[in-house]
C-alpha cells in the first residue's frame, strides 16, 4: 500500500468527506420531513391521504434510488425541472429515504399499545391531545433505533450521487484513481472515511436511545 | 329530551359486529352511590357493555345517560368529539392491564389530564397528585415510573389517575384479573374504600366474593343478555335461573 500517496491526497478526501456529510445531513433532514408527512398520511382518517402515502412509499421503495436520481437529474429538464447535481442529489435521495422513514415512523406509532390511547381518551383527552401527550412520546422512543438504521443506509447511499458527478467521497476516489492508477489506496481511504462518519453517527444514535429509553 | 330518573341509565343497549349481536336490548339503572357488579362468562358482553358507557365501544342502538345528560348523543362528528371528551371527564375508567403511561412518572400519570384539561397550576397539580396517591396508599412512590411498580401498585396508581379527574362515576373493567393472587387484595381494599365514600361504581369482575361483599346489586350476563339481576345474596345464594346456577357452580369448581 502506498502510504505516501495516501498522505498526499487525504486532504482532498477530507474536503470531499465534508461534502458527503453535508449531503447526508440535508438528505436526512429532508427524509425526516417526508417521513413525518408520509406517516401522517398513511395513518390519516382520509382515504385519499392514505392512498397518496401508500403510493409514495411503494414508488420510492419499489424502484432503484439510482433510477430515481437519473430520472430527476437527467429527465427533469425535459419536464422543466432544472437542478444542479448537488440539488438533484439532495432532493432525490432525501425523498427516497423519506419513503423508508415513513414506514419506520408509522411502524413505531402503531406499535404503541392501543390501551394507551384508550386510557388517555377515557380521561377526556381529544384524539390530538392523546396523540401528542401519550402516543407520540412513546413512538419517538421506539423509532430512534430504526431511524438510525435508515440514517446509516442513507450516509452510505450518498455514494450514489457520484453517478451524477457530485464531488463527494466516492466521486473523489474515482477521480484520483484516474490520475494515480491506485484504486486500492483510493477506495481504501474513502472507505475509512465513511467508516469514521458512520461510527460517529452510530454512537450518537445509541447515546440518544439510551438517554430517552423508558426505565 | 326524555326525562331521566336514575343517575346512570342504559336504555335498550344494543351492539352488533356485522351479524354478530353481542348486546341484545340491555337496560340498566344505577342510582347515585350505588355499586353494581356485572358478572358472567367471557364473551357474555359484560366488558362491551361497560365500555359502551363511556363510548369506548360505541353502541349500535340504545342510549346511555349520566346525571341527566345523554352520553352517546347523536351529534355531527366535531361537536360529538367535544361532547364526549367532556362527558369522559366525569367517567373514570380502570383497565385490566392498567394502561399507565410508561413514559411519565407516577406523579405525571395522575396530573397529566387535569393539567391539560382543567388548566390547574403546577402547585395545584402537585397537591392533587399527593392527595390522590395518598388515598390509594401510593404516595411514597410518587416519583417512580410505572415499570418500577408491582401490578397491584400500578393498578392503585391507575385508580388515582382516574380519580384525579373527580369523576361522577367509576368503571372497573376486570381491574384485578391480570394481578397475581397475592396482589388482588390491595386493589380490592382501595375499591372498598371508594365504596365507603359512596362513589358510584360499575364493576366487571370475576371475583364473586368481592362482588358479594361490596356491591348493592349483581347482574349476571350471558350471550349478550342480562339473565339475572338482584342483590348479591339473592343472585349468589338463591339464583332463580338455571344458567346462573351453572355459571356459579363452574366458577366455584374453578376456584377450588
What integer pLDDT is reported at residue B146 of this predicted model? 94
Question: B218 φ, ψ to 5°?
Answer: -125, 135
Q: In what order do the strands lie in the sheet with B20-30?
A: B20-30, B8-17, B61-66, B69-70
pLDDT classification of B241: cutoffs 50, 70, 90: confident
List per-residue pLDDT tens for chain A, 215 residues long: 778 888 888 888 889 889 999 999 999 999 999 999 999 999 998 999 999 999 999 999 999 999 999 999 999 889 988 999 999 999 999 999 999 999 999 999 999 999 999 999 999 999 999 999 999 999 999 999 999 999 999 999 999 988 888 888 898 888 888 888 888 888 989 899 999 999 999 999 999 888 887 65
Asked if B103's CB is within 8 angstroms of A124's CB, the reply is no
Sheet holding B217-222, edge to edge: B91-94, B169-173, B200-204, B35-39, B217-222, B225-230
Helix A85-111 crosses helix A65-73 at what angle (to 10 degrees)? 140
- 8 A C-beta contact, residue A97 and residue A157: yes
**A119 in contact with chain B, both atoms CB, cutoff 8 A:** yes
Give the pLDDT of residue B56.
93
Residue B58 contacts A, CB cutoff 8 Å: no
Mind telling me how many Å the CA of A215 is from chain B's nearest CA? 6
Residues from chain B that touch A211, judged by Cβ atoms under 8 A, are: none
> What's the rounded mean pLDDT across residues B99-110?
95
The DSSP annotation for chain A comes to --HHHHHHHHHHHHHHHHHHHHHHHHHHHHHHHHHHHHHHHHT-SSHHHHHHHHHHHHHHHHS-HHHHHHHHHTTGGGGT----HHHHHHHHHHHHHHHHHHHHHHHHHHHS-HHHHHHHHHTT--HHHHIIIIIHHHHHHHHHHHHHHHHHHHHHHGGGGGGGT--SHHHHHHHHHHHH--HHHHHHHHHHHHHHHHHHHHHHHHHHHHHH---
Question: Quick check: B150 contacting A, CB < 8 Å?
Answer: no
> Where residue B254 falls among pLDDT bands split at 50, 70, 90?
low
Chain B residues in contact with A137 by the CB 8 A cut-off are 103
Mutation target to probe the B interface, by most B beta carbons within 10 A, among A116, A119, A125, A140 is A119
- Is A136 part of the contact surface with chain B (CB cutoff 8 Å)? no
Q: Residue B99: which of A118, A125, A127 has the nearest Cβ?
A: A118
The answer to whether the beta carbons of residues B103 and A141 sit under 8 Å apart is yes
Reported as a pLDDT band with limits 50, 70 and 90, residue B3 is low
* CB contact (8 A) between residue B116 and residue A133: yes
- Residue given cell 377515557 in the structure block: A122
Are the CB atoms for A116 and A135 separated by under 8 Å?
Answer: yes
Mean pLDDT for the stretch of residues B157-172: 94
Cβ(B100)–Cβ(B109) below 8 Å: yes
Confidence of residue B238 (pLDDT cuts 50, 70, 90): confident
Mean pLDDT of chain B: 91
Q: How far is CA A132 from CA A28, A135, A140, in A?
A: 23, 6, 11
Query: Is there a contact between B39 and B211 (Cβ–Cβ < 8 Å)?
Result: yes
What pLDDT score was predicted for residue A9? Answer: 84
Give yes or no for B172 touching A (CB within 8 A): no
Quote the pTM value. Answer: 0.86
Tally A–B CB contacts below 8 A: 65
Phi, psi of A126, deg, nearest 5: -75, 170
pLDDT band at B250 (very low <50, low <70, confident <90, very high): confident
Suggest the residue from B101, B132, B171, B173 to mutate for an interface test with chain A (most A CBs closer than 10 A): B101
Q: Which residues of A touch B101 (CB under 8 A)?
A: 116, 119-120, 134, 138
Query: Is the ipTM of this structure higher than 0.85?
Result: yes
End-to-end CA distance of chain A: 49
Contact A138 B102 (CB under 8 A): yes
In B35-54, the residues whose Cβ lies within 8 Å of chain A are 54
Stretch B132-154: mean pLDDT, rounded? 93
Confidence category of residue B130, pLDDT binned at 50, 70, 90 = very high
% of chain B beyond a pLDDT of 70? 97
pLDDT at B239: 86
Q: Residue B69: helix, strand or coil by DSSP? A: strand
Q: Which residues of B touch A119 (CB under 8 A)?
A: 93, 95, 99-101, 158
Q: Provide, as residue numbers in chain B, all residues whose Cβ is less than 8 Å from the Cβ of A113.
A: 99
Task: Provide the terminal-to-terminal Cα distance of chain B, rounded to the nearest Å.
Answer: 50
Q: Which backbone phi and psi does B11 adopt, to 5 degrees?
A: -115, 115
Amino acid at each position: 500500500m502506498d502510504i505516501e500517496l495516501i498522505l498526499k491526497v487525504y486532504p482532498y478526501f477530507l474536503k470531499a468527506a465534508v461534502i458527503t456529510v453535508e449531503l447526508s445531513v440535508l438528505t436526512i433532514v429532508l427524509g425526516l420531513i417526508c417521513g413525518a408527512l408520509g406517516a401522517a398520511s398513511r395513518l390519516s382518517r382520509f382515504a385519499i391521504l392514505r392512498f397518496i402515502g401508500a403510493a409514495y412509499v411503494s414508488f420510492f421503495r419499489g424502484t432503484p434510488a439510482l433510477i430515481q436520481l437519473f430520472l430527476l437529474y437527467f429527465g427533469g429538464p425535459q419536464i422543466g425541472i432544472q437542478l444542479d447535481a448537488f440539488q438533484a442529489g439532495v432532493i432525490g435521495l432525501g425523498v427516497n429515504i423519506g419513503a423508508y422513514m415513513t414506514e419506520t415512523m408509522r411502524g413505531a406509532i402503531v406499535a404503541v399499545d392501543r390501551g394507551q390511547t384508550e386510557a388517555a381518551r377515557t380521561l377526556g383527552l381529544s384524539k390530538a391531545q392523546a396523540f401528542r401527550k401519550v402516543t407520540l412520546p412513546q413512538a419517538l422512543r421506539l423509532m430512534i433505533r430504526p431511524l438510525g438504521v435508515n440514517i446509516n443506509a442513507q450516509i452510505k447511499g450518498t455514494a450514489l450521487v457520484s453517478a451524477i458527478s457530485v464531488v463527494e467521497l466516492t466521486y473523489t476516489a474515482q477521480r484520483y484513481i484516474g490520475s494515480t492508477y491506485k484504486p486500492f489506496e483510493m477506495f481504501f481511504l474513502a472507505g475509512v472515511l465513511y467508516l469514521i462518519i458512520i461510527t460517529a453517527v452510530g454512537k450518537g444514535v445509541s447515546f440518544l436511545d439510551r438517554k430517552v429509553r423508558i426505565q | 329530551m326524555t326525562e331521566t330518573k336514575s343517575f346512570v341509565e342504559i336504555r335498550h343497549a344494543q351492539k352488533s359486529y356485522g351479524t354478530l349481536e353481542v348486546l341484545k336490548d340491555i337496560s340498566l339503572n344505577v342510582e347515585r352511590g350505588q355499586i353494581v357488579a356485572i358478572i358472567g362468562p367471557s364473551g357474555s358482553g359484560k366488558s362491551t357493555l361497560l365500555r359502551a358507557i363511556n363510548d369506548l365501544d360505541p353502541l349500535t342502538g340504545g342510549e346511555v345517560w349520566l346525571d341527566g345528560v345523554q352520553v352517546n348523543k347523536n351529534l355531527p362528528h366535531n361537536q360529538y368529539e367535544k361532547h364526549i371528551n367532556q362527558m369522559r371527564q366525569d367517567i373514570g375508567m380502570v383497565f385490566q392491564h392498567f394502561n399507565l403511561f410508561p413514559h411519565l412518572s407516577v406523579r405525571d400519570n395522575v396530573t397529566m389530564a387535569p393539567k391539560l384539561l382543567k388548566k390547574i397550576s403546577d402547585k395545584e397539580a402537585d397537591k392533587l397528585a399527593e392527595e390522590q396517591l395518598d388515598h390509594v396508599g401510593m404516595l411514597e412512590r410518587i416519583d417512580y415510573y410505572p415499570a418500577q411498580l408491582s401490578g397491584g401498585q400500578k393498578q392503585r396508581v391507575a385508580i388515582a389517575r382516574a380519580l384525579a379527574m373527580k369523576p361522577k362515576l367509576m368503571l372497573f373493567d376486570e381491574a384485578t384479573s391480570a394481578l397475581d393472587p397475592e396482589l388482588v387484595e390491595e386493589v380490592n381494599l382501595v375499591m372498598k374504600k371508594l365504596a365507603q365514600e359512596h362513589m358510584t361504581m360499575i364493576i366487571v369482575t370475576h371475583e364473586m366474593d368481592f362482588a358479594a361483599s361490596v356491591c348493592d346489586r349483581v347482574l349476571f350476563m350471558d350471550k349478550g343478555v342480562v339473565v339475572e339481576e338482584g342483590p348479591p345474596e339473592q343472585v349468589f345464594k338463591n339464583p332463580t335461573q338455571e344458567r346462573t346456577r351453572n355459571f356459579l357452580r363452574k366458577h366455584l369448581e374453578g376456584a377450588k
